[in-house]
């Protein structure tokens, strides 16, 4: 029996949801990620409820107050990029949620490692790559 089969303790119920946070100063980037991931990023996973943030202060406040299963941070955001926010949160928040960093170039993946990101997706954002990254991080979190 696989973990996604009905009746398995790790299978998502129809009413189960998880909260994800998306940070970008660009509303089009936020929309593209939300639409690409969809309501359920993978078979056997819960439905996703998104919280959006366009500012660094908003992200920090929401993470401190909320219970997110995953943070999706735009590494190319103006003023304070997602990589700096990831590094800050990973150092300051006890049991910080997993972080997916969005980068503009594949060459920037090493910076995401510096930022303690758990996964990286490079632009142009392929919906399948985004779904797989989100689903993989959510599955890893459910196994803990």
Give strand pairing partners of 121.
102
Query: What's the confidence (pLDDT) of residue 8?
Result: 46
Mean model confidence pLDDT for the chain: 90
Query: What's the confidence (pLDDT) of residue 4?
Result: 40
Give residue 143's pLDDT band: very low, low, confident or very high (50, 70, 90).
confident
The predicted-structure confidence for 73-115, as pLDDT tens digits, reads as follows 999 999 999 999 999 999 999 999 999 999 999 999 899 999 9
Third-level CATH fold of 17-142? Rossmann fold (3.40.50)
Query: What's the confidence (pLDDT) of residue 142?
Result: 77
Closest CA to 75 of 87, 65, 66: 87
Query: What's the confidence (pLDDT) of residue 1?
Result: 36
Query: What's the confidence (pLDDT) of residue 2?
Result: 37
Domain residue spans of the chain: 17-142
Distance CA 103, CA 97 (A): 19
Residues in the chain: 144
């Amino acid at each position: 029996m696989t973990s996604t089969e009905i009746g398995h303790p790790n299978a998502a119920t129809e009413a189960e949801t998880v909260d994800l946070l998306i940070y970008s100063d660009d509303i089009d980037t936020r929309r593209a990620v939300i639409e690409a991931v969809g309501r359920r990023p993978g078979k056997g996973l819960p439905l996703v409820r998104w919280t959006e943030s366009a500012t660094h202060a908003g992200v920090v406040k929401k993470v401190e107050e909320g219970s997110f299963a995953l943070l999706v941070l735009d590494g190319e955001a103006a003023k304070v990029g997602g990589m700096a926010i990831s590094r800050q949160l990973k150092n300051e928040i006890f049991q910080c949620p997993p972080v997916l960093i969005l980068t503009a170039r594949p060459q920037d993946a090493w910076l995401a490692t510096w930022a303690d990101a758990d996964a990286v997706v490079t632009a142009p954002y392929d919906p399948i790559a985004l779904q797989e990254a989100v689903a993989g991080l959510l599955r890893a979190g459910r196994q803990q």
